Amino acid sequence: MLRAPRAGKSAPEGTSPDGDPHPVAGKRTRLRPVVLLLGLLGLVVVFLGAVLIGSSGLGWRQVLAEIVAQLTGGVSPLSERDAAIIWELRVPRIVLAGLVGAALASAGACYQAVFRNPLADPYLLGAAAGAGMAATIVMVTVPAVRGWPVDPIPIAAFAGSLGGVGLTWLLGRSASGRGSSGTGTLLLAGVAVAAFLTAVQTFVQQLNVDTLKDVYLWMLGGFNLADWNAVLLALPYIGLAAVVLVLCGRLLDVLGLGDAEAASLGLRPGRIRFLVLAAASLATAAAVSVSGLIGFVGIVVPHIVRLLAGSSYRVIVPMSLIAGAIFLIVADQLAGNVRYPAELPIGVITAFTGAPFFVLVLRSARGRV
Amino acid sequence: MTVGLTLRDLSAGYRKHPVLHEVELDVPAGGWLAIIGANGTGKSTLLKAIAGLVPHTGDVWIGEHKASELGRRELARKLGYLPQGASLPDGLTVTDYVLLGRTPHLGALAREGQSDVDIVTAVLGRLDLSHLASRQLRTLSGGEQQRAVLARVLAQHTGVLLLDEPTTGLDIGHAQILLELVDTLRREDGTTVVSTLHDLTFAAQYADRIVLINCGRVVATGTPDEVLTAQALTEYYGARTTLLTAPDGSRVVAPLRGS
């Protein structure tokens, strides 16, 4: 072997550099139970940590006592108001942050696979621009939205997001001819649609300057309005999409060979692309509808997972779900606590912590990318 | 698993530009047909049309099965296609990559089983890749990479192999090793081979039949001795050549300098 593996993870298992003692087929990149368990364990730890620390004045001992009391049916040490803070504000907020992080990271991984482009992110095909436009229009045209029994903004954002992606898909399909794979055209259609919808959004916003602050806050994204309703709104779509995307991991690996080769292996690349993009866009739309536009997660998390755990989408997709959830829960805790009681926009945290970490991972993996 | 290949009235093209016209060919089971012709005459398109990767009319028969009546996956179990300049995904090991060749034998959402791993292990052994099995594809040399791509196609376990310029980018020694491997497969397994080959001397040495394509039409077909003539090479390649005979009796195409 000419080149010694740098990190332990890339060392072949069952073989040694100077010999091949076992007639094994060689190292396979697959989701190892240990990695999965570590990931899940990390998620549980982060979740519990977030519940205990939170961002209000409650001490962690009290929260722990409350959780124990709830689990064992004992007497709650907290006032009703404090208990509500935990169960109606804190816990749904953490769950939602996890769900959104999982959705954006796995959708980003799948977009990168489908477009075979490391810079692809879930907002690429107009999901963000469509959601932004629809949310702005609702904020402008429906005054006093907060009084409604059902908040129309998430629903509008959800529809706008799917509408944006749908428009891109139609445009891309009509512009690319038969016989071409059309991913390049689809990307360009996404750029055009996003620019157009953003222009509409900006125009509507400029006509109604009084709502500028609301629109701006929504665009920045965050979880300060999270409740169980938002969780229930997003969960079915994100759950369904997650199942589809995880099951497609192997097919995404084959797609990585290119369309002609995937077809020569008996697959229909166009159909797989459609299915994966539809599922990923559904997850993105659900995430955007409940949390606004949170950047960086969809690009950085899949790459970190790829560098740490391997390049097969059978690993990247499930681990991106877990890592995305962990990343956004932590980022949301930081957003709430750094300048408590004021909240920082979570996008600031994701970029501020994510970018240096990303560079660190890139450096440590030098030579493997 | 020995099946021949029959083409009837095969035409193909991209959009409205026909590239191939009414190609008729018979490749007996276990035969090796080399497709030759100048650049841009439709050699690769012919292979892609056989593999069902470009829109085409006419019939492709694999043994007694009509390709158009087979599903994509069934077709992929009968035809292996080695593309020219295969793209090698980042970060996959040789084993990962070769395992992807088992795709036509797996359900859409299934995972590879031990039998798939065993097949891949055997293929890697056969192509002398076992010691590289855990290496990342990108760290291999050109010859090793091309062997890995061939291994992926062989893991498909098909009776027919379509090889598009399998020796591209390989030096003469590595090209020879690869072609010898293919020939061994053909003799041991009865695999039917159809390949484009730009090196005419290799075509003469390894193929038992050669078809010469010009402007998308078959202009000559027969044994290497019949097809490879100085006149044909002048006419269809615009090349000045002389044909020598190697000690083993095979044809050697030698280019001549202009006077």
More confident residue, B234 or A6: B234
More confident residue, B192 or A27: B192
Write down the pLDDT at residue A160.
93
Q: Confidence band (pLDDT; 50, 70, 90) for A24?
A: low
Chain-chain contact of A179 with B93 (C-beta, under 8 angstroms): no
Rounded to the nearest angstrom, the minimum Cα separation between A259 and chain B is: 9
Give the highest mean pLDDT range of A14-23, A323-332, B112-121. A323-332
**Interface probe with A: pick from B75, B96, B123, most Cβ of A within 10 Å:** B96
Q: Which pLDDT score, from 0 to 100, does residue A79 have?
A: 80
Residues of chain A with C-beta less than 8 angstroms from the C-beta of B104: 265-266
Percent of chain B with pLDDT over 70: 98
Contact residues, chain A, for B150 at CB < 8 Å:
none
| Total structural domains within chain B | 1
Residue of A nearest to B158 (CA): A265
Mean pLDDT of A119-136: 89
Q: What pLDDT score was predicted for residue A15?
A: 42
Q: Name the residue among B55, B76, B108 with its Cβ closest to that of A264.
A: B76
Q: How far apart are CA B138 and CA B150, in angstroms?
A: 15
**For residues A305 and A320, is the Cβ–Cβ distance under 8 A?**
yes
Put simply, whether B81 touches A (Cβ < 8 Å) is: yes
At residue B120, does pLDDT exceed 90? yes
Mean pLDDT of chain A: 84
pLDDT at A143 over 90: no
Whether residue A13 has pLDDT greater than 50: no
pLDDT at site A181: 58
**Yes or no, beta carbons of A310 and B91 under 8 Å apart:** yes
pLDDT digits (tens, 9 = 90+) for A44-64: 999 999 988 875 667 778 888
* Closest CA in chain A for residue B79: A264
What tokens were used for B15? 């959009």
What pTM did the predictor assign? 0.85
d(CA A136, CA A149): 19
Q: What is the pLDDT of residue A284?
A: 93
Instruction: Residue A300: count other Cβ atoms within 10 Å of its Cβ.
Output: 24
Residue of B nearest to A245 (CA): B109
Query: Cβ distance B100 to B156 under 8 Å?
Result: no
User: Is residue A12 within 8 angstroms of chain B, CB to CB?
Assistant: yes
| Type of residue numbered B140 | L
User: What residue spans define the domains of chain A?
Assistant: 32-70+78-364
Asked if the bond preceding A341 is cis, omega within 30° of 0, the reply is yes
Cα of B218 to nearest chain A Cα, Å:
25
Distance in angstroms between the alpha carbons of the first and the last residue of chain B: 52
Q: What's the confidence (pLDDT) of residue A61?
A: 80
Domain, as residue range, for B47: 5-255
Helices in B92-171 by DSSP H: which ranges? 94-99, 114-126, 142-154
The Cβ-side half-sphere exposure at A217, using a 13 Å CA radius, reads: 11
Task: Tell me which of A21-30, A254-263, B79-88 is least confident.
Answer: A21-30
Dump pLDDT digits (tens) for B161-216: 999 999 988 889 889 989 999 999 899 989 999 999 999 999 999 999 999 999 99
Q: What ipTM is given for this predicted complex?
A: 0.89
Q: Do A311 and B77 touch (CB under 8 A)?
A: no
What is the topology classification, in CATH, of domain A32-70+78-364?
Answer: ABC transporter involved in vitamin B12 uptake, BtuC (1.10.3470)
Q: Which of A32, A115, A265, A306 to mutate to test the interface with B (most CBs of B within 10 A)?
A: A265
Average pLDDT over residues A269-280: 92
At B129, which CATH number? 3.40.50.300
